[in-house]
Amino acid sequence: MSQEELLVLIYKKDEKAFTHLYDMYSKSLFSVISMLIKNREEAEDVLQEVFVKIWKNIDSYNESKGRFYTWILNIARNTSIDTLRSKNFNNSQKNLSTDNFVNLLDDSNKLTNKIDTIGIQEFVKKLKPKCIEIINLLFFKGYTQQEASEELAMPLGTIKTQNRNCINDLRNYLKI
């Protein structure tokens, strides 16, 4: 089923469309969510929440503003960041088991592999060092533009401009 056919069915709230939507996008969205949320169960919950949001908010998708995949990717990323910032999530992380601490080092080493699984790592490496740093903070670590501005000691406007330029450079590499 093509993306266009899928969108028509989603707009009609066809139940089969939800299954197709999940089959088409769950793996890539889960990899993005997992980069931000290290707990697998929590990441799976966020993935479920993301698909519910996509289903309920399909009327807010506007083709003229961007691709469908970009729209759902932003929903996944924003939902993950919201979860990380939520009070309940922060409280649940205060009492981590020792197993989690043992796995933290392994997980940080696997980040490179996770990025590579969605096919972006080689393209990001081609960017200027400042772009790599900005994209890493904003997209892979979940920083807001304000937080990235503070972390890099750069004005917010500069971060916004640099981010836009870096994304355009990345688009050129990806030819999209």
* φ and ψ of 99, to 5 deg: -60, -40
Return residue ranges of the chain for CATH 1.10.10.10.
100-174
The pLDDT confidence band at residue 108, using thresholds 50, 70 and 90, is: very low
Return residue ranges of the chain for CATH 1.10.1740.10.
3-91
Select, from the ranges 45-49, 107-111, 165-169, the one with the highest average predicted confidence (pLDDT). 45-49
- Once rounded to an integer, what is the mean pLDDT over residues 16-36? 89
Cα–Cα distance for residue pair 149/171, rounded to 1 Å: 23
Topology (CATH level 3) of domain 3-91: Rna Polymerase Sigma Factor; Chain: A (1.10.1740)
* φ and ψ of 124, to 5 deg: -65, -35
pLDDT at 95: 53
Q: 55-100, pLDDT tens digit by residue?
A: 899 888 888 888 888 899 999 999 998 888 885 655 655 555 545 5
Cα–Cα–Cα angle for 121, 18, 4, nearest 5°? 70
Q: 131-156, pLDDT tens digit by residue?
A: 888 888 887 777 888 888 998 999 99
For domain 100-174, the question of CATH label 1.10.10.10 is answered with yes
Cα–Cα distance for residue pair 17/5, rounded to 1 Å: 9
